[in-house]
Amino acid sequence: MKVRSSVKKMCDKCRIIRRHGLVMVLCENPKHKQRQMGSKRK
C-alpha cells in the first residue's frame, strides 16, 4: 500500500473509501492501493 499526501484514482476500477477518517483507494489491481497520510490513532 502506498502512503501519499494526495490520493487519486489510477484506473476506472479504483474506488475511494473513507475508513475511520482515513481516505483510501482500493482497486482490483493491488498496485493501485493507496492511503492518505493521516493522524495516527492511539
State which residues of the chain have pLDDT below 70.
40-42
**33 within 8 A of 27, measured Cβ to Cβ:** yes
pLDDT value for 38: 81
DSSP letter, residue 32:
G
The C-alpha cell at 2 is: 502506498
pLDDT value for 29: 97
**In terms of DSSP bridges, do strands 2-4 and 34-36 run parallel, antiparallel, or are they unpaired?**
parallel
DSSP letter, residue 24:
E
pLDDT value for 31: 97
Residue 38 sits at φ, ψ, to 5 deg, of -145, 175
Cα-trace Rg, the chain: 10
pLDDT value for 42: 61
pLDDT value for 41: 66
